[in-house]
Amino acid sequence: MASKNVEKSEKDWEKLLTKEQYHVLREKGTEPPFRGKYWNHEEEGVYYCSGCGNPLFKSDTKFKSGTGWPSFYEPIHSNSVKEIEDRSHGMIRTEIVCGKCGGHLGHMFKDGPKPTGCRYCINSISLDFK
């Protein structure tokens, strides 16, 4: 299934997003733990990209990681998100961005639960639950 990529200028994003969303999605910021609206959220549904509406994660792949950020063991589709090597802050990490708009979502670590062993550690502000 081909999905069209969302391409906007940084000026467009500035108008579209709140200041806090812009900081995380476009400037790769991180929200403080235990403060976002979804780290402790347990309703059934789908989490979408708050920048472009791309479906990203299902609630049944969400788990309690204890980190203070919403955590999932796998994305809805393999192309829902993209992985990028992140060498910032003296670490080598896997950055996770939206597969459609490229907005920063969080990072993926290999210490998650079965069946994937992955932990997608995502900023609440990058998500919209429905």
Q: Which residues bind Fe ion (CB under 5 A)?
A: 49, 51-52, 54, 98, 100-101, 103
Options 52, 101, 118, 121, the catalytic residue:
121
ω before 115 within 30° of 0 (cis)?
yes
Our CB check for Fe ion shows the closer of 96 and 121 to be 96
Our CB check for Fe ion shows the closer of 52 and 121 to be 52
98 is catalytic: no
Which residue in this structure is represented by tokens 């995380």?
Answer: 24
CB 120 within 8 A of CB 108: yes
List the one residue out of 69, 117, 61, 121 whose CA is nearest residue 96: 121
Smallest distance from Fe ion to CB 83, Å: 15
Smallest distance from Fe ion to CB 64, Å: 25
Indicate if the alpha-carbon torsion angle 126, 123, 125, 65 is positive or negative: positive
Smallest distance from Fe ion to CB 50, Å: 8
Our CB check for Fe ion shows the closer of 91 and 130 to be 130
Which positions are catalytic?
121
